[in-house]
Amino acid sequence: MESPVVELDGVVAVLGGFPALAGATLTVQRSEIVLLRGPNGAGKTTLLRVCAGLVPIARGQATVLGCDLAVDRAQVRPLVGLLGHRNGLYLDLSVQENVRFWGATVGATPLEVDAALERLGLAGRLAGLSVRRLSAGQQRRTALACLVARRAQLWLLDEPHAGLDAAARDEVDATLRQAAAAGATVVVASHELERAGALATRCVHVVGGQIEAEPVPR
């Protein structure tokens, strides 16, 4: 059996002296779309940042994409894509230039960049537009195209629907389903339970820095 993409066992992460994660245990398999739900301050964002190798773990075992985060958490970073409240784009560059730049950081070919733009519906006229001139939904799609060009295997998304209208949310959902179908694994932290719940293959409840009993996959 293929080893899980994310395997956290009793992970404790301390931020500013407080345990933001207090013994979190979670397993995510390849091509799953997992929804993290829970109140503000529950530890959802910290969980995503731990998986991205940005926050050190104080105790417990954490393996992401085969990298042991307790040994070298930076090792996992090139393999994951973390999309927070901001898109990580250069607003004065065009869509194509942004995707090309992020793709080039991992040596993506122009063909791969074009494929990423095509896949996100950003080819043609949109590709040449400055990101600053795009709608919020188009900017988010550009950020997702950058993840595709960066060949991210694990997508960690924090409130990916925030600030988007219904049409843009549909676009994001379609992209995430497509990414999972293509072999990527997606972990989403969201308050939009109805929408994100419909998207996810599994929902996980985060409370007080812990994962409540992991439900059986739907």
Which residues of this protein are in contact with another protein, per CB under 8 A?
Answer: 52-54, 74, 77-78, 80-82, 84-93, 97, 101-102, 104-107, 130, 146, 150
Residue with tokens 């784009």: 89
State the minimum distance, in angstroms, from the CB of residue 147 to another protein.
10
Q: How far is the CB of 132 from another protein (least distance, A)?
A: 9
Give me Rg for the CA atoms of the chain: 17
Q: Which is nearer to another protein, 67 or 126 (CB)?
A: 67
Q: Residue 88 Cβ, how far from another protein at the closest point, in Å?
A: 3
Tell me the closest approach of the beta carbon of residue 52 to another protein, in angstroms.
5
Give min distance, CB of 139 to another protein, in A.
8
Give whichever of 9 and 85 is closer to another protein, judged by the CB atom.
85
* Closer of 97 and 170 to another protein (Cβ): 97
CB atoms within 10 A of CB 41: 12
And the tokens for 74? 């930076």
- Residues 75 and 86: their CA atoms lie apart, in Å, by 23
Cα→Cα distances 131→61, 134, 170, 178, 209, Å: 40, 5, 20, 23, 36
Cβ atoms of 117 and 145 within 8 Å: the answer is: yes
CA distance 28 to 74: 20
Q: For residues 106 and 207, which CB has a smaller minimum distance to another protein in the complex? A: 106
Closer CB to another protein, 23 or 78, in the complex: 78
